[in-house]
């Protein structure tokens, strides 16, 4: 600090804090990483803005409330729909109807897909026989089976379970196949050399490698099942969230439509979160995909 200090005149000393000159090539403010707190605040602010814009759009009737009801009305409809019946069931009833079918198709998919995948992963011959058929059928989306399912099984639960099963069985099979073939044979031989029996190899080596892939398969299968179920309910159902959504759209009850879409989204996210949690619980050593 060698600046002049002319205290006699009472002048303020000429001191400026050091600021490095901003050079070309330094990280601009837009590119800097954000703290967790800043990320949270920005996220909340942007979500709030979105809801506010939505509210303004419908409150000022820029968009007809028939097409986009205000957020408050959607919330109110949700509350009423919890107890009041629409198309023969309350919201809880429709949700339960959807979840029953999903659970059925998903579990059936696992029941068939798990052993099939393990077999395909284990034996070359089975893989050579089954995989081409699999590849042949895979490009046909499960949805495209809906008309055929209706012809075979009628408009009812079995048709929907069948279609959901088709969508879930593929990831179940593929992932259990991958789980089996991803076990390094060297590890098995090493374990055997070290004196491990079959049982202990299965418990300590195979399951260790296979579990994360299997749980991931279960999660993907559930996601597919849920997506496909909604489509199936648009076509062949007398209850369920997809059925509600389509009917609400046809009767211009857009508030009910948005409520059902919201529940569909929340449940989808919930399923995914639950199975991620299961994955962490049963295989804490695995890296999250």
The residues of the shown chain that bind other proteins, judged by CB under 8 A, are 24-25, 30-34, 38-39, 42-47, 50, 67, 124-125, 128-133, 136-137, 139-141, 143-148, 150-152, 185, 226-227, 230-231, 234-235, 241-242, 245-246, 248-250, 252, 254, 257-258, 260-262, 264-266, 268-269, 272
Provide the minimum distance between the beta carbon of 281 and other proteins in the complex, in angstroms, as a whole number: 22
Give me the least distance between CB of 153 and other proteins, in Å please: 11
Reduce the DSSP state of residue 195 to 3 states and report it.
coil
Helices (H) and strands (E) in the chain, counts: 11, 0
Rg of the chain over Cα atoms, rounded to whole angstroms, equals: 29
State the minimum distance, in angstroms, from the CB of residue 8 to other proteins. 49
Take residue 53 and report the two structure tokens written for it: 């814009």
* d(C-alpha 90, C-alpha 117), whole Å: 39
Min CB(148)–other proteins separation in Å: 5
Q: What is the smallest separation between the CB atom of 223 and other proteins, expressed in angstroms?
A: 9
d(CA 167, CA 7): 84
Indicate if the alpha-carbon torsion angle 256, 259, 261, 263 is positive or negative: negative
Q: Which is nearer to other proteins, 71 or 211 (CB)?
A: 71
Nearer to other proteins, 1 or 133 (CB): 133
Residue 168 makes CB contacts below 8 A (sequence gap 6+) with 105, 106, 108, 109, 110, 113, 221, 222, 224, 225, 228
Q: Which CB, 114 or 232, lies closer to other proteins?
A: 232
DSSP letter assigned to residue 27? P
Pick 45 or 111: Cβ nearer other proteins: 45
Complex with other proteins: residue 14 or 29, whichever CB lies closer: 29
As a whole number of angstroms, the distance between CA 287 and CA 279 comes to 10
The closest alpha carbon to 228, from 91, 98, 116, 136, belongs to 98
92 vs 266, which CB is nearer to other proteins? 266
Smallest distance from the beta carbon of 130 to other proteins, in angstroms? 7
């Amino acid at each position: 600090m060698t600046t002049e200090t002319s205290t006699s005149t009472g002048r303020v000393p000429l001191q400026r804090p050091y600021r490095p000159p901003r050079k070309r090539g330094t990280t601009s403010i837009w590119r800097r990483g954000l703290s967790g707190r800043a990320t949270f605040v920005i996220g909340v602010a942007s979500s709030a803005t979105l809801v506010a814009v939505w509210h303004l759009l419908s409150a000022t009737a820029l968009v007809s409330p028939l097409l986009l009801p205000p957020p408050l009305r959607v919330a109110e409809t949700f509350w009423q729909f919890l107890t009041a019946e629409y198309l023969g069931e309350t919201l809880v009833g429709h949700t339960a109807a959807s979840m029953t079918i999903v659970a059925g198709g998903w579990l059936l998919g696992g029941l068939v897909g798990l052993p099939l995948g393990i077999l395909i992963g284990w034996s070359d011959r089975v893989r050579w026989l089954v995989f081409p058929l699999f590849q042949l059928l895979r490009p046909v989306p499960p949805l495209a089976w809906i008309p055929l399912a209706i012809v075979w099984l009628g408009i009812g639960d079995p048709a929907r379970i069948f279609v959901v099963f088709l969508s879930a069985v593929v990831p179940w099979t593929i992932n259990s196949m991958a789980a089996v073939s991803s076990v390094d044979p060297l590890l098995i031989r090493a374990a055997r050399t070290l004196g491990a029996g079959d049982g202990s190899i299965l418990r300590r080596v195979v399951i260790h490698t296979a579990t994360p892939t299997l749980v991931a398969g279960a999660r993907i299968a559930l996601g597919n099942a849920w997506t496909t179920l909604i489509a199936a309910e648009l076509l062949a159902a007398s209850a369920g969230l997809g059925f509600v959504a389509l009917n609400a759209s046809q009767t211009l009850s857009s508030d009910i439509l948005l409520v059902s879409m919201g529940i569909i989204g929340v449940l989808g996210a919930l399923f995914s979160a639950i199975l991620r949690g299961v994955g962490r619980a049963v295989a804490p050593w695995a890296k999250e995909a």
